[in-house]
A = this chain, B = another copy of it.
Amino acid sequence: MTEKLTPRSQDYSKWYNELVVMADLAQHSEVKGCMVIKPYGYAIWEKMKEALDKKFKDTGHQNAYFPLLIPKSYLSKEAAHVEGFAKECAVVTHYRLKTEDGVVVVDPKAKLDEELIIRPTSETIIWNTYRGWIQSYRDLPILINQWANVVRWEMRTRLFLRTAEFLWQEGHTAHSTAQEAIEETEKMLDVYADFAENWMAMPVIKGRKTPNERFAGAVDTMCIEALMQDGKALQAGTSHFLGQNFAKAFDVKFVNKEGVQDFVWATSWGVSTRLMGALIMTHSDDKGLRLPPRLAPIHVVVVPIYKGVEQIAGIYDQMKPTIDALKAKGHTVKFDDDDTKRSGWKFAEYELKGVPVRIAVGQRDLDNGTIEVARRDSGEKMSISIEGAADHIHDLLENIQATMLLESRTFRDNNITEVNSYEEFKTVLENKGGFIAAHWDGSPETEEKIKTETKATIRCIPLDQKEEPGKCMVSGQPSSGRVLFAVAY
């Protein structure tokens, strides 16, 4: 690492863009809006996938796979849905190329009768399929998830945060009652919140979107909202109660226990590689990534400090019992024996990569029976006995995970501000940022006015909203509780 990161205080956005590239997480491809996720970034995403997938299975879901390509006509069957997605669809119109005078061109003879779109989300093709799977209440519930890539054409893209193609999971469930579907919607929101807090060490606020901000085709959109270090909010996951909208659009009916035919109730829920952006912006600092241990591809790096290259093998041998004991506890350990890099360079590199624990050890330490352990989160260094070091480091990793959550929660809590006037709102927004809890009259017009004037949107109506009669800060109309505003990613 020769270059230095732009400090966050100087240009947060630039810091983020540089960090993603310098830490080898991802890069832009030459295809507009599409990213390459590099091995180190993908390893973090794999850890996320693994944890989420287990949670989905533990809550009774199964994985399946539905087609990438969706007939254009499907999209238009649900009015709100097409409105929301038509503007950003990649459209397949032909199925063959040919060579003409040595140049590869689209073969005009291979034009599709009906254009296909690359899925921006899969409600339409999945509900079209569910029609064939569901006859009676005995076929319900259907609890399915898919891990997939989707494409939503974006003009202004940022790595992980907004890309034309991204990776995600989308759950699509079918139920015989509204109540059961609503419970599913809430359950998956809880799964997401639990993952965000206990794996990503990122506290989130659970809430409900306003009608304006709802998913196109949903009756109710629930969300988890996180706060980034620059005071902007980030929607980290959504869980939608779709009512019978898609069942009606695709004619999916079932016979209930009473022998009466009704439309099926639906939910859908998803998180994406956007979580990578959230993870980075929640924890990282001017030295680079800070990764919570539960999502770190490497938990512990051992950097041998040697006088001559011939010492490296000896240091490794003496460290091996500790390394093996750490591995036996499920940790990933790297012993960096690269003799072409100086240890100062390595320290900076592993700080950049966010490895939670670094061990630096030379022969003199070993003669004293000690090793130097540095934690990435706080930068704290300590000399510990090599005897019992694995247990010590195991506990330290748990402590780092907990400390990072505590830290980000403290930051988040310190950045929720209650305001009682629009003036105050604008002042806080300008000088402090963060979530602003304010009264709102519930009208889309007021919401739109605030957005236009300040760029702040209603992130959510928190589930734990206190009943507190008040007046809308803009219109003065009555309000029964505060909603959370923020400028968002």
Contacts and interface: CB of A to CB of B under 8 A. Distances in A.
A182 interface: no
A442 interface: no
A95 B88 contact: yes
A390 interface: no
A358 B31 CA distance: 52
A70 B46 CA distance: 24
Interface string A27-43: 10111001111110011
Contact of A94 (B34, B42, B93): B93
Contacts of A46: 63
Nearest to A91: B94
B99 A90 contact: no
Interface stretch (A114-122, A373-381, A457-465): A114-122
Contact of A96 (B62, B89, B106): B89
Contact of A37 (B64, B86, B91): B64
A196 B98 CA distance: 37
Interface in A86-115: 86-99, 103-104, 106, 115
A91 B90 CA distance: 10
A340 to B, nearest CB: 8
A470 interface: no
A66 interface: yes
A31 B125 contact: yes
A337 to B, nearest CB: 15
A42 B68 contact: no
Contacts of A99: 76, 82, 86
A330 interface: no
A71 interface: yes
A151 interface: yes
B93 A87 contact: no
Contacts of A138: 340
Which of A31, A63, A88, A116 lies at the interface centre, i.e. has the most chain B CB atoms within 10 A of its CB?
A: A31
A92 B87 CA distance: 15
A30 B64 contact: no
Contacts of A31: 67, 69-71, 116, 125
Interface in A54-69: 62-69
A65 B167 contact: yes
A264 B379 CA distance: 41
Contacts of A117: 97
A64 B273 CA distance: 13
A169 B489 CA distance: 33
A144 interface: yes
A322 B144 CA distance: 30
A31 to B, nearest CB: 5
Contacts of A106: 72, 91, 93, 115
Contacts of A82: 97, 99, 104
A69 B166 CA distance: 12
Contact of A129 (B36, B63, B67): B36
B62 A37 contact: no
Contacts of A98: 86-87
B67 A36 contact: yes
Interface string A115-148: 1111000000100110010000010000010001
Which of A34, A75, A90, A340 lies at the interface centre, i.e. has the most chain B CB atoms within 10 A of its CB?
A: A90
B67 A29 contact: yes
Contacts of A68: 34, 118, 149, 151, 165
19 contacts: A27-B129, A29-B129, A30-B128, A34-B68, A35-B67, A38-B64, A42-B62, A67-B165, A68-B149, A69-B90, A72-B97, A76-B104, A82-B97, A88-B96, A89-B95, A91-B106, A93-B106, A97-B117, A118-B118
Interface of A: 27, 29-31, 34-39, 42-43, 46, 62-73, 75-76, 82, 86-99, 103-104, 106, 115-118, 125, 128-129, 132, 138, 144, 148-149, 151, 153, 165, 167, 340
Given A65-B167, A88-B95, 13 more contacts: A29-B129, A31-B69, A34-B69, A39-B144, A43-B63, A68-B151, A68-B165, A82-B97, A89-B95, A89-B97, A91-B106, A106-B115, A118-B118
